[in-house]
Chains A and B, each alone.
Chain A
Amino acid sequence: GESVGLHLPTLSVQEGDNSIINCAYSNSASDYFIWYKQESGKGPQFIIDIRSNMDKRQGQRVTVLLNKTVKHLSLQIAATQPGDSAVYFCAENMNRDDKIIFGKGTRLHILP
């Protein structure tokens, strides 16, 4: 069935280090992927997206990598800051409709 999952439910990273959050998806028909950040009590906030015709996309301090061969998606956050503490979700869309499917989420914890 369609599913998007994450390898680690919790990730602890030293402040200033780089963070890497991983996501596995199972539907090879998915062609659009999004990373969202959700802080406590708030809705998901868009971070970065990538289409299936790309394997890398960079934003401000963030990079998304897509490996379609192994159906793997990752979010890299450079120089992790306390404000990066949140739950991160990957999401996928098959572009046949507007629906997106969310993964389980990874909580990023920043160590001082």
Chain B
Amino acid sequence: GAVVSQHPSRVICKSGTSVKIECRSLDFQATTMFWYRQFPKKSLMLMATSNEGSKATYEQGVEKDKFLINHASLTLSTLTVTSAHPEDSSFYICSASPGQFGNQPQHFGDGTRLSIL
């Protein structure tokens, strides 16, 4: 149980393109999901907290207009990288928890490798 699915797994696109990444909780509902960014050989950096039915909460230094988050249902959150540039190339990972955190751990998707040419 507690499966989180991410799509697509890999994206290669031209500079200036907007890219949407989906994060789905397959067998549970999640009022909160999280989006992370990971550079090679580095740890996961939390970008934002996605809240179902309300605005996302962004971490300091993360541009909300650059990384648009929509959490329209209890099983789906999307991250849109707008007007992507080469410096946006990274590994993006989402997570969700089936229960109140502190009682159950976050479960992660398998990530999306974004490459901007």
Contacts and interface: CB of A to CB of B under 8 A. Distances in A.
Nearest to A44: B108
B43 A102 contact: yes
Interface of B: 4, 6, 32, 34, 42-46, 49, 93, 95, 97, 101-102, 105-111, 113
Chain B at the A interface: mostly helix, strand, loop or mixed? strand
B109 A43 contact: yes
Interface of A: 31-32, 34, 36, 41-46, 49, 51, 89, 93, 95, 97-105
A98 B32 contact: yes
A62 B86 CA distance: 40
Contacts, number: 59
Contact of B49 (A95, A99, A105): A99
B38 to A, nearest CB: 9
A99 B46 CA distance: 8
23 contacts: A41-B110, A41-B111, A42-B110, A43-B4, A43-B6, A43-B93, A43-B109, A44-B95, A45-B108, A46-B106, A95-B101, A97-B49, A97-B101, A98-B34, A98-B49, A98-B101, A99-B46, A100-B101, A100-B106, A102-B45, A102-B46, A104-B43, A105-B42
A103 to B, nearest CB: 7
A67 B106 CA distance: 23
A100 B97 CA distance: 12
Question: Which 6 pairs between the two chains have the least Cβ-Cβ distance?
Answer: A43-B108, A98-B101, A95-B102, A43-B110, A102-B44, A102-B43
